[in-house]
């Protein structure tokens, strides 16, 4: 069996994307899995997975430079782990901010295969709160580092085709696009006249707020799943609070539409939003619920328009957006049929898992 060292970096043990790669690879390989925990844990082995927890505490509200300075200690621990472990493949789920190249260079020098799972477009994602001249300088420096990471990697995994194409800029590399697939599929025998808004991190509605308010006046119920109800005090809604995954999926499956909207920064052109294919998008379609997405989300819009599995709106045009959604609701049986036809594309299954395993290990 091949040995794979998976660096989860700041991700917790049960992070959906990271843990999925660990479980998949462990079916045919020995996996050493580094993850972060905020409480004391001992390393242990379960089947083909050797869990390597690192306890770490960080003040999320601290200055970015303070956090970066403190992370040097964490990054050194992980470099030591990489340099002192026995493995064939190094699978990186993130780079080390204070040592962004070092793990790649070491693994390459030792003849190890490097697989880089690029969750976000890092030149913008890293220190994303920087703006103006400093922000542009940071992005230029990070682009140079990112180019070197790509060069040193043997294989790359991306979340969307748009992210892959922009990152590679014509460079030929072995790549696989693995979006954030749902874990299960569901069908609903009953549909409420409701719009569900799902998320683990509480985010205000932003531009879509006036659209939602008008749809409420048209008889729709607005339901919040997983977020803090207080953030939506200015809009009539029902809040379920946090739900376990299967219960969340059942709640989504009852709704007529799922609104997929977010803004990570204050910028309209933030590429990690534009190219995002988030879990809630795939969960919604796997739960047989059509989606409502803003036309600014390039990757989401492409999927929705190609397959006809939802409604693409321009939230700045409130009347036009509401009209499109109401027209789709009148033809709801057709819309739902398209979702049912394609929903298996949005769930992690044996075929996708096999393709992923063969890509990493082959």
Per-residue confidence (pLDDT) for residue 331, from 0 to 100: 95
Closest C-alpha among 256, 304, 255, 252 to residue 277: 304
pLDDT tens, residue by residue, 21-58 = 999 999 999 999 999 999 999 999 999 999 999 999 98
Q: Is 360 in contact with 155 (CB distance < 8 Å)?
A: yes
| CATH pick for 194-346 out of 3.40.50.2000, 3.40.50.300, 3.20.20.70, 1.10.510.10 | 3.40.50.2000
Residue with tokens 């770490």: 56
CA distance 252 to 238: 13
CA distance 168 to 146: 10
Q: Is 102 in contact with 80 (CB distance < 8 Å)?
A: no
CA distance 227 to 201: 6
Residues 6+ apart with CB under 8 A from 114: 89, 90, 92, 104, 107, 108, 152, 153, 154, 155
Tokens of 226: 């997983």
Task: Going from the first residue of the chain to its last (362 residues), give the mean pLDDT of each consecutive group of 10, the final group possibly shorter.
Answer: 96 95 98 96 97 92 78 95 97 94 96 94 60 73 91 95 88 94 88 90 76 95 84 85 92 95 60 71 96 90 95 95 97 95 95 98 94
Per-residue confidence (pLDDT) for residue 170, from 0 to 100: 87
Per-residue confidence (pLDDT) for residue 119, from 0 to 100: 87
Q: Where in the chain is the domain with CATH 3.40.50.2000?
A: 2-179+348-361, 194-346
Between the alpha carbon of residue 107 and those of residues 22, 69, 86, 112, 155, the distances in Å are 19, 24, 11, 5, 13
Per-residue confidence (pLDDT) for residue 272, from 0 to 100: 58
Q: Is 29 in contact with 50 (CB distance < 8 Å)?
A: no
pLDDT tens, residue by residue, 232-274 = 778 898 888 889 999 999 999 999 999 998 665 555 565 556 6
Main-chain dihedrals φ then ψ at residue 220, nearest 5 degrees: -80, 145
CA distance 142 to 77: 23
Closest C-alpha among 244, 245, 297, 232 to residue 271: 297
Per-residue confidence (pLDDT) for residue 270, from 0 to 100: 55
CA distance 223 to 229: 10
CATH 3.30.1060.10 fits 2-179+348-361, yes or no: no
3 state DSSP class of 129: coil
Name the H helices within 228-278.
245-254, 271-274
Q: Is 103 in contact with 82 (CB distance < 8 Å)?
A: yes
Q: Quick one: CA dihedral 199, 201, 206, 207, positive or negative?
A: negative
């Amino acid at each position: 069996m091949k040995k794979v060292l998976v660096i989860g970096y700041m991700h917790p043990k049960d992070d959906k994307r990271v843990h999925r790669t660990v479980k998949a690879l462990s079916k045919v390989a020995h996996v050493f899995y580094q993850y972060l925990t905020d409480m004391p844990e001992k390393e242990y082995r379960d089947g083909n997975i050797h869990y390597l927890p690192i306890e770490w505490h960080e003040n999320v509200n601290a200055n970015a430079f303070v956090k970066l300075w403190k992370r040097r200690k964490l990054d050194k621990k992980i470099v030591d782990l990489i340099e002192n472990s026995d493995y064939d493949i190094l699978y990186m789920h993130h780079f080390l901010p204070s040592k962004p190249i070092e793990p790649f260079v070491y693994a390459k020098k030792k003849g190890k295969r490097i697989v880089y799972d690029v969750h976000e477009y890092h030149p913008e994602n890293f220190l994303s709160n920087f703006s103006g001249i400093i922000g542009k300088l940071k992005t230029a420096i990070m682009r140079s580092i990112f180019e070197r990471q790509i060069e040193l990697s043997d294989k790359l995994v991306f979340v969307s085709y748009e992210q892959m194409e922009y990152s590679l800029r014509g460079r030929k590399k072995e790549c696989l696009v693995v979006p954030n697939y749902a874990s299960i599929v569901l069908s609903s025998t009953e549909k409420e006249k409701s719009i569900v808004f799902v998320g683990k991190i509480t985010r205000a509605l932003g531009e879509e707020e006036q659209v939602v308010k008008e749809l409420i006046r048209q008889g729709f119920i607005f339901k919040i799943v997983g977020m803090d109800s207080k953030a939506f005090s200015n809009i009539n809604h029902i809040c379920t609070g946090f739900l376990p995954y299967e219960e969340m999926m059942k709640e989504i499956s009852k709704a007529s539409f799922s609104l997929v909207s977010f803004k990570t920064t204050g910028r309209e052109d933030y590429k990690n939003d534009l190219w995002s294919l988030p879990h809630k998008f795939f969960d919604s379609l796997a739960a047989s619920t059509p989606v409502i997405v803003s036309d600014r989300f390039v990757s989401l819009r492409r999927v929705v328009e190609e397959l006809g599995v939802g409604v693409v709106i321009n939230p700045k045009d409130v009347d036009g957006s509401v009209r499109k959604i109401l027209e789709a609701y009148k033809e709801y049986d057709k819309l739902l049929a398209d979702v049912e036809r394609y929903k298996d594309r949005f769930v992690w299954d044996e075929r996708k898992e096999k393709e992923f395993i063969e890509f990493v290990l082959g």
